[in-house]
Amino acid sequence: MPSLAGRTALVIGAATGIGRAVSEIFAAEGAAVVVADHGHEDERARLVARLRERGADAIDIECDVREEALVAAAIHATLERFGKLDILVNNAGVGSAAQPFYEQDWGGWDRIFDINLKGVAYGMKHGLPPMLQRGYGRIVNTASQLAHKPAPFCGAYCASKAAVVALTVSVAMEVAEKGIAVNCVCPGPTDTAMWRASDPAWNAWKEAQLPIKRVGRPEEVAAAYAFLASEQASYMIGQSVSPNGGDVMW
């Protein structure tokens, strides 16, 4: 039997990159999938059509994680359509151009933290009550390997992702006894639009550090989400799972 058969998953930040791969592997493992993202209307529609062609029940909705009301609405829409929320993935995130710390502006910091951290917080705040009511849930947040091994010239991004790890652990301790497992994935460099839009020199420097000597594929990273969302991960609480090509080892 597929590992997520009968489950309902809301993936926020689902239209492209890792989020798209997560949606695809969830559907392949039997879950109904709500594809939520800000904009990316064509990508969302194509993804939902592809999931449906493969036999999955899927819908797409607009969700800008900078707006708490829209995150709450995405969760409400999931409950209205499917009657439950088993799995929540908080994957929406943005990067920034590499630049010296003393040249970074607070407006850029606010944008990164509003999306990368507060968006995750909004998702958990509104996703937890229906899970607590049922006594079951899986929450997977997207952090980054840069949370554990920060890099120069991207201070705000590193700080936001380290905060996601800390928030994940704090919430995991609160709800573990109530049937809800909260964990995070800390991807290393992955071949996504965000990676391809980054400074080529910075990318080359980062890729050279990887023992595997290549960036990851979205589907390689998505496998970690599928594991954490499954019953096979029932003893995983507050963990950082790190598909990163060996950039961080422990």
Q: What is the DSSP code string of the chain?
A: --TTTT-EEEEES-SSHHHHHHHHHHHHTT-EEEEEESS-HHHHHHHHHHHHHTT--EEEEE--TTSHHHHHHHHHHHHHHHS---EEEE----------GGG--HHHHHHHHIIIIIHHHHHHHHHHHHHHHHT-EEEEEE--GGGTS--TT-HHHHHHHHHHHHHHHHHHHHHGGGTEEEEEE---SBSSHHHHTS-HHHHHHHHHT-TT-SPBPHHHHHHHHHHHHSGGGTT--S-EE--STTSS--
* 12 neighbors 89 (Cβ within 8 angstroms): yes
| Confidence band for 250, pLDDT divided at 50, 70 and 90 | confident
Query: What CA–CA distance (Å, rounded) separates 77 from 69?
Result: 12
Amino acid sitting at position 106: W
The pLDDT tens digits of the residues spanning 174-219 come to 999 999 999 999 999 998 888 788 888 878 888 898 999 999 999 9
| Confidence band for 86, pLDDT divided at 50, 70 and 90 | very high
Query: What CA–CA distance (Å, rounded) separates 41 from 202?
Result: 31
Amino acid 30: pLDDT: 98
- Provide the percentage of residues in the chain whose pLDDT is more than 90: 88
Range of lowest pLDDT (47-56, 164-173, 207-216): 207-216
Cα R_g (the chain), whole angstroms: 17
The pLDDT tens digits of the residues spanning 215-233 come to 999 999 999 999 999 999 9
Query: What CA–CA distance (Å, rounded) separates 30 from 38?
Result: 25
Higher pLDDT, 61 or 204: 61
Please say if the pLDDT value at position 129 is more than 90. yes
Choice among 102, 122, 136, 157 that is catalytic: 157
Amino acid 213: pLDDT: 94
Average pLDDT value for residue range 20-34: 98
Query: What CA–CA distance (Å, rounded) separates 187 from 215?
Result: 10
Query: What CA–CA distance (Å, rounded) separates 27 from 47?
Result: 11
Higher pLDDT, 207 or 239: 239
Catalytic annotation present for 157? yes
The set of residues, in sequence order, having a beta carbon less than 8 Å from that of 174 and lying 6+ positions away, is none
Helix axis angle for 41-53 and 17-28, nearest 10°, is 20
Please say if the pLDDT value at position 119 is more than 90. yes
- As a dihedral over the C-alpha atoms of residue 128, residue 131, residue 137, residue 138, rounded to 10 degrees, the angle is -30
Query: What CA–CA distance (Å, rounded) separates 124 from 68?
Result: 11
Beta bridge partners of 87: 9, 138
Both tokens of residue 175? 């709800």
| Confidence band for 57, pLDDT divided at 50, 70 and 90 | very high
